[in-house]
Amino acid sequence: MSKKILIVDDDRSLTHLLNAYLSDKGYKIVIAHDGEGALLLLESERPDLIVLDIVMPKMNGYDFLFEMRKMDEVSKTPVIVLTGKADMAEIFKVEGVLEYLIKPFAPQDLMEKIRKYI
């Protein structure tokens, strides 16, 4: 059974590329384009890992993390944050984010981080 990754990013080009790349590596991919959509998918899909953008419409990544942490079944799901802001490391530590990548990033770097958790 392949591991499931939830990609949450409003950049449809990026989600399309990540879907193709990670599917090719054997992962099952579920995509949401904002935090609200991702929250709806969490309980039904139960991902093994989440790749999360911070700046999104409707519900940003921080609000998504806050709400996710309140959901017992998925509160401990590993999260890898994608961000365009290089100065966010301290905030990520406070938020409990284990890993992050600065956009643009190499797909191999994301793959390396994913393999640490699933």
Nearest to 58 by CA among 49, 45, 67: 67
Please state, in angstroms and rounded to a whole number, the distance separating the CA atoms of residues 90 and 76. 20
Number of domains present in the structure of the chain:
1
pLDDT tens column, 62-84: 899 999 999 999 999 999 999 88
Domain containing residue 52: CATH number: 3.40.50.2300
Phi, psi (deg, nearest 5) at residue 50? -125, 130
Q: Specify the pLDDT at position 10.
A: 96
Place 96 in a pLDDT band, splitting at 50, 70 and 90. confident
| pTM greater than 0.75 | yes
The boundaries of the domain holding residue 29 are 4-117
